[in-house]
Structure 1
Amino acid sequence: MAKAPSGPLGALNGKLRNLVFYMLNGQPVVRTIGDPGKPSRGQLANRQAMSVTMEMVSRISEFTNVSFELEARGTVRNAHNLATSYIKKHALKGEYPNISVDYSKVILSNGNLPGANDLKIEKKEKGVLVSWDPSGKQDDTVMILLYHPLEKAAMSVINACRRDAGSYFIDLYEKRLDEPIEAYICFKSANGKAISDSAYIGNLNGAVESAEELSQKQTYALVKQRFDVVEADYLQQIAANYGNPVNTKAFRNLKKEYKVLKDKLEHLPGKPG
C-alpha cells in the first residue's frame, strides 16, 4: 500500500500495484516491479547500451569521483550518475547487438578551467610518457586516466603533478604496456574549486579486439553459415513448388529452423561491419 505522508498533493511512499514510490536524495522516485514481459528490440538495445556503459564506468570511479565532484555538488546527482549519463549519451557507437564505447568521445569532466594543447602519449620501455603544453596557471593539478579495454581495468593518477611540469611518466608492467591503452587528462585548480573539460589524449597499440569480441564473431559466422544453407534449401523448395510452401513435415521443420536462425542473427553480436 502506498501512503501520502505529505497530503494528497505530496509524494507517495510505498507500493501501489506494480509501482514502488520512494525518496532518493530528497527527490520522489517511482519504479516498476514484476515481470515486464518480452522486451522489444529497443529495450534490448537500451539494456546493452547501459551494460556497455557500466562496464567502463565501474572501472573508472576512482577518477570520476574526483573529476565530477564539482559538477555534482549542490545537485541531486552524483559523480556516478554524471559519468554514466555522459558516456551513454555521447560515447557509444554501433547498433544493437553490436554497441560499444567510442573511447575518443568519452567525457570525464566539465569545467571552465583552461585545458592544454599538444597532448601526447608515448610508449617507453617501462611505461608511458604523457605530455602537454605547460602554458597556463602553473600550480594546476594534472589528473590522468589510463583505461585498458582488454582487461577492463583503469589506472587513475589523481594528483600526477603540476601543470608546469609539462609531462608525467606512468610505470606499467609489460603485459599492460603491450595492450591497447586509452588515455585521458584534465586539470584541477590548486584550491580544488575549478576543473577543466577532460581531453582524450589518444590510443596506444591500436583498438585490438578482445577475446569476447573474437568469440562473438566466430559464433556469428557459424550461425550465418548454417543459415545460408537452410535459407537456400528453404527458398529452393518454395520456388520448385511455384512459390508456395511445401505441405510436408520436413518442410515445416525446415521453415521453423529458417525462422529461428534468422531471428537469432538479428540479435546475435559479432556481425561484420
Structure 2
Amino acid sequence: MAIASNGPQGHLNGKVGNLVFYMLNGQPVVRLIGRKGKPSTLQLANYQEMAVTTKLLSKMGGFIKLGYGLQARGTVHNAHNLATSYHKKQALTGVYPNISIDYSKVKVSQGQMPETAGLRIEKLAGGLEISWDPTATHDLQHNDSVMVMICCPESGKDREYLNIARRSEGKCFIPMYEDVLNQQIEPYIAFISADGERVSDSVYLGNLNGAGKTQTEKQQEEKYKQVKTRLDQLESSYLGQLKENHGLRSNTKAFKYLEKEYRTLQKQLEHLPGKPG
C-alpha cells in the first residue's frame, strides 16, 4: 500500500501493484518491480559494464568523494553517481563477455583547477616517487593538497592517498612491497585547494610494469595447474603398475579406469590454455 502524505496531488510513498514510489535525494522516484525474464545480450553487457565499473570504484570512495563532490553540489546526483556514469561510458573497453577497464581513460577527479606542470613518476627501491613543478601561480597555490590514487589490478591492493603532500614540496614517496611494486600499476594524481573548493582533473601517470594477467587468464592457469597436478599423480601410479607388471597392461578393472583417466587427462592437457611460459 502507498501513502500520499501530501494529499491526493502529492507524491506517493510505498507500493502500488508492481510499482514502488519513494524519494531519492529530494526527488520523487518510481520504479517497476517484478520477475525478470531471460536477459538479452545487451542486458548482459550492461550488467558486466556495471560490475566492472563498480569493482574499479570500490576502493576509491574517499578520492571520488573529493574528486566529484564539487560537481554534485546543487544537483540530485552524488559524487559516486557521477563517477559511475563517467567510467561506465568513457573508461571501458572490449565487448561482452570481455569488457575491461581502459586505465588511460580513468578520471578519479574532475574539476576546474588548471593542470600541474612537470608531472613525473619513477619506480625506486621500496616504492614510487611522484614529482611535479612546485611553482605556484595566481591559479595554483603553494598549500594545495596532493591526492594520489594507485590501482594494482593484479593484486587488488589499490590505495588512495588523499593528503600525501603539499604542492610546495614538489614530490612525494609512496612505499610499496616489492611483489606489488613489480606488478601492473596504474597511478593517478590530482590537486585540491586547502579549503576544498577547487579541484583539478586527475592525470594518468602511465602504466608501470605492463599489463597484468586478466581474470580469465588467471582462471585458465589455475585450471591447467589442477589438471597437471592430477595427471602427475596418475602418471606415477600408472607407470609404477606397468613396471611391476614388466611393461604389460593389467586386465583388472581398476587398472583400466586408471589408464582411461590418465589418457583422457593427457589429451586434455595438450589443448588446455594456461600453460606456464
User: Fold match, TM over 0.5?
Assistant: yes
**CA deviation vs aligned residue, 1:51-93 (integer Å, no higher than 9, x gap):** 0000011111122122222222332222221221111111011
Asked if 1:200 corresponds to 2:197, the answer is no
Task: Name the residue aligned to 1:74.
Answer: 74
- Residue in 2 aligned with 1:111? 111
Which residue number corresponds to residue 158 of structure 2?
Answer: 154
Q: Tell me what 1:142 maps to.
A: 146
Count of aligned pairs between the two proteins: 221
Deviations along 1:79-130, one digit per CA (max 9) or x if unpaired, are: 2212211111110111111111111101112211112123221111100011
User: 2-side partners of 1:20 and 1:46: how far apart?
Assistant: 23
- 2: distance between equivalents of 1:77 and 1:127? 37
Cα distance in 1, alignment partners of residues 89 and 143 from structure 2: 33
Change (3 A) 1:187 1:29: same
Secondary structure at the aligned position of 1:185 is classed as strand
Is 1:213 the counterpart of 2:185? The answer is no
> Letter of the aligned partner of 1:207 in structure 2?
A
Q: TM-score, normalised by structure 2?
A: 0.74
Q: Go from structure 1 to structure 2 and tell me whether the alpha carbon gap of 1:31 and 1:217 turns closer, same or farther (over 3 Å shift).
A: farther
CA distance in 1, matches of 2:208, 2:44: 32
Matched residues in 2 for 1:69 and 1:180: separation?
29
Work out which of the two has the higher radius of gyration on C-alpha atoms and give 1 or 2: 2
Question: How many angstroms apart in 2 are the aligned matches of 1:207 and 1:109?
Answer: 23
Partner of 2:18: 18
Secondary structure class of the residue paired with 2:207: strand
Counterpart for residue 180 of structure 1: 184
The aligned amino acid for 1:97 is: P
Please say which of residues 115-124 and 43-52 is displaced more in the overlay.
115-124
Runs of 4+ off more than 4 Å? 215-219
Matched, 1:85 2:85: yes
Is the 1:45–1:96 Cα contact (8 Å) retained in structure 2? Answer: yes
Secondary structure at 2:206's aligned position in 1?
strand
The one-character-per-residue Cα deviations of 1:225-256 (angstroms, maximum 9, x if unpaired) are: xxxxxxxxxxxxxxxxxxxxxxxxxxxxxxxx
Query: Is 2:66–2:109's contact at 8 Å kept on the other side of the alignment?
Result: no
The residue type equivalent to 2:148 in the other structure is I
Alpha-carbon displacement from aligned partner over 1:153-188 (angstroms, at most 9, x marks no partner): 321111111112221110001121111111111111
Partner SS state of residue 194, structure 1: coil
Among 161, 168, 185, which residue is 1:164 paired with?
Answer: 168
| Deviation, structure 1 residue 203 | 1.1
Shift in CA distance, 216/173, structure 1 to aligned 2, threshold 3 Å: closer
Q: Is the 8 A contact 1:116 1:135 kept in 2?
A: no
Partner Cα distance (2:73, 2:96) in 1: 35
Distance in structure 1 (CA, Å) of the matches to 2:171 and 2:183:
22
